[in-house]
Amino acid sequence: MILVLDSKITKDQKTRIRSLLSDDGCITREIIDAGQNLIGIIAKNKKTAADYKKMEGVVDVRSIKTSHKLVSRDFKSEDSMVKIGNVMVGGDRIVVIAGPCAVESYSQAMTIAKEVKRYGAVLFRGGAYKPRSSPYSFQGMEEEGLKILAAVREETGLGVVTEMTSPSQAALMEKYVDVVQIGARNMQNFELLKCVGKMSKPVVLKRGLASTIQEWLMSAEYIVAGGNDNVILCERGIRTFEPYTRNTLDLSAIPVLKQLTHLPILIDPSHATGIREKVSPMARAAVAAGADALMIEVHNDPDNALSDGPQSLYPEQFGELTRDLYVIAPVVGKQIDFDYLKKSEVISLLNGGGIKTAAFMGENGDYSHKASLSYFGDDLTSIPMKSYRDIFNACESGRAEYGVIPVENSLTGSIHENFDLLQEYDLKIIGEVTIRIKHALIAHKSATKNDIKTILAYPSAFAQCRNFLDQFAGEEPLAIKATSGAVRQIKKSGDITQAAIGSAMAADIFEMKVIEDSIEDNPRNFTRFAIIAKEYKGNKKVGKTSLVFSTGNKPGALFEVMKIFSRYHINLVKLESRPILGKPWEYMFYADIEADILSDALVPMMADLKDKSEVLKILGRY
């Protein structure tokens, strides 16, 4: 049952409810879901919904119809996130876990950890207790292996995941690792499930070789009912009649689970396929199907691996995969964030885990707001601003620690105003995030498409939804200032004949309805945002530099600068010219290079660049 509490419930009422439930021997879980204060209860008595409804402070009692209760969508409509150090599993960042099947030695684990970290993994995996089909196969390094995992975390900053095969290992797991894994063979080892239910570490629960989704969810329920809410479900392939792969990866489990449970979903394509070449295609498909995280086996010397060599990717293959995922993720509204660890280090350095403030242009629910949350996660206080200049002023004055500004759209090009402001102010780009711009037609909950007579939106939204609007028979669209300003406006009007174009997130925030989603003409509509701040603050590793330069107005001047990049083997990922204000037909160039321009190795290149350009300004290193 779910008790829906009064929004004005008093402390005393709550205490009374809690003590009554405890007297009744109920298992309880208090959450806030979609703005409502709820208590989920598993009643161990004969009391009915009507009995609980009589309690003061309870406004409604709902039943959970599925046999899984605390892990069900019925109980919690919002997605759960599991926090592992600074890494969040769930939400819109794809978390990549990688490492060997088993820890084989200190140098093996450390070498692979450094490689996978370089290529974007944010957690490291490695078995120390290996459940093997044959008693004669390598069984794992046991406690020695756990110590190596702890050393890997110490050295690389990667949280570590390892399998626990017996309750007797609980104390060691608590001591050495960040996440415990329940392997496929133990999915229904109920004593083990009860044991991890009492542990403080998050749990990866693998699906059994021949278990149904329902059985799997009931196993998750064991862990949560035991007191540990931090469960990640891991699909790793099920046994079917098909011999071409080691198992059959059930990717349809992703949308099925998304409907049945709020828990995050991890996909392990390595054990699912058992064959190296099959791992990357299935990993890409998993992200496209909505997985929250991936776990990939990687080995530096798979031919000599002590277990699962044939399914382990070489580090370079893993790097290629994460680059592909980086491109795929935004299509499903997610991102692979190669800055994730560095950023979370910076964030915790600054605020001891929490973030302070980021200024963005527009209103809550605007794409800039979405980008801010995507970059910083939920611990963010966002401050809406009326103009881009206001963002720069807020950062300069210290009112906001960060600013989030759009710099480039895949269909319409650069947002020059922000490049001009970057030149004018002494602020730095410290990071970037790309999100997909997916427009929705939003109206009142009671409205249908036929009711709509007027559509409000930001001018660029109109431009991007031209085909949709051409079919719209109502009045000419009305332009307004920012995307979710339109949603706010129609909400306030109460007029069901009005609709707005905006993000589905804006519809959520303003409690409105999406009448039609993805109405933009071209689905390849992405915007890249820069994160700006006064200083770099703890940014340790830089992979990219944005700069602006001008050359003399003489033949071959730009070529001379390009030659410098070429000489130092620097990859240029953006180059764009822009007229210099007040100097007709003279140009500035914006460039992004894949290097830290201030690194020691590039001191001579910097000197050459200064020599060949008239103006040279570093806009940011990130």
Binding site for ligand PEP (CB under 6 A): 101, 127, 163, 183-185, 206, 236, 271
**Quick check: 101 binds Mn ion (CB under 5 A)?**
yes
Sequence-separated (6 or more) residues with CB below 8 Å from residue 129: 139, 140, 142, 145, 162, 163, 164, 165, 166, 169
Sequence-separated (6 or more) residues with CB below 8 Å from residue 602: 568, 570, 595, 596
Q: How far is the CB of 104 from Mn ion (least distance, A)?
A: 12
Q: Quick one: 112 or 394, whose CB is closer to ligand PEP?
A: 112
Query: Strand runs (DSSP E) across 27-158, as ranges?
Result: 27-33, 36-42, 58-62, 82-84, 87-89, 95-99, 123-125
Query: Strand runs (DSSP E) across 274-395, as ranges?
Result: 293-297, 357-361, 381-385
**Quick check: 592 binds Mn ion (CB under 5 A)?**
no
Q: How far is the CB of 216 from ligand PEP (least distance, A)?
A: 12
Q: Quick one: 69 or 236, whose CB is closer to ligand PEP?
A: 236
Q: What is the C-alpha to C-alpha distance for residues 53 and 63, in angstroms, rounded to an integer?
A: 12
* Window contacting Mn ion (CB under 5 A); options: 241-249, 305-313, 415-423, 572-580: 305-313
Q: Quick one: 164 or 548, whose CB is closer to ligand PEP?
A: 164
Cα separations in angstroms, 363 against 183, 382, 514, 527, 589: 45, 10, 18, 17, 32
- The only residue of 221, 308, 366, 432 in contact with Mn ion, by rule CB under 5 A: 308
DSSP track, 209-232: TT--HHHHHHHHHHHHHTT---EE
Q: Which residue number is nearest to Mn ion in terms of Cβ?
A: 101
Cα separations in angstroms, 275 against 245, 246, 247: 7, 8, 10
* Window contacting Mn ion (CB under 5 A); options: 34-42, 210-218, 302-310, 386-394: 302-310
557-567 and 603-612 are packed helices; what angle lies between their axes, rounded to 10 degrees? 180
Q: From the list Mn ion, ligand PEP, none, which binds 76 (C-beta under 5 to 8 Å, kind-based)?
A: none
Q: From the list Mn ion, ligand PEP, none, which binds 184 (C-beta under 5 to 8 Å, kind-based)?
A: ligand PEP
Q: From the list Mn ion, ligand PEP, none, which binds 389 (C-beta under 5 to 8 Å, kind-based)?
A: none
Spatial contact of 345 and 540, defined as CB atoms under 8 Å apart: yes
Nearest to 206 by CA among 136, 141, 253: 253
Q: How far is the CB of 186 from Mn ion (least distance, A)?
A: 14
* Window contacting Mn ion (CB under 5 A); options: 223-231, 300-308, 339-347, 610-618: 300-308
Q: Quick one: 101 or 238, whose CB is closer to Mn ion?
A: 101
Q: How far is the CB of 335 from ligand PEP (least distance, A)?
A: 26
Q: Which residue number is nearest to ligand PEP in terms of Cβ?
A: 183
Q: Quick one: 101 or 265, whose CB is closer to Mn ion?
A: 101
Q: How far is the CB of 236 from ligand PEP (least distance, A)?
A: 4
Q: Quick one: 38 or 97, whose CB is closer to ligand PEP?
A: 97
Spatial contact of 362 and 484, defined as CB atoms under 8 Å apart: yes
Q: From the list Mn ion, ligand PEP, none, which binds 236 (C-beta under 5 to 8 Å, kind-based)?
A: ligand PEP
Instruction: For residue 172, give both structure tokens.
Output: 């060691």
Q: Quick one: 127 or 159, whose CB is closer to ligand PEP?
A: 127
Q: Quick one: 276 or 436, whose CB is closer to ligand PEP?
A: 276
Q: How far is the CB of 119 from Mn ion (least distance, A)?
A: 19
Q: How far is the CB of 187 from ligand PEP (least distance, A)?
A: 8
Q: Quick one: 80 or 139, whose CB is closer to ligand PEP?
A: 139
* Window contacting Mn ion (CB under 5 A); options: 93-101, 209-217, 425-433, 568-576: 93-101
Look at residue 327 and give its three-state secondary structure: helix
Instruction: For residue 145, give both structure tokens.
Output: 């292996």
Residue with tokens 């160039």: 589
Q: What is the C-alpha to C-alpha distance for residues 164 and 140, in angstroms, rounded to an integer?
A: 12
Q: Quick one: 260 or 306, whose CB is closer to ligand PEP?
A: 306
Q: From the list Mn ion, ligand PEP, none, which binds 278 (C-beta under 5 to 8 Å, kind-based)?
A: none
Spatial contact of 205 and 233, defined as CB atoms under 8 Å apart: yes
Q: What backbone torsions phi and psi does residue 422 show, to the nearest 5 degrees?
A: -65, -35
Residue with tokens 């021997």: 25
Q: Which residues bind Mn ion (CB under 5 A)?
A: 101, 308
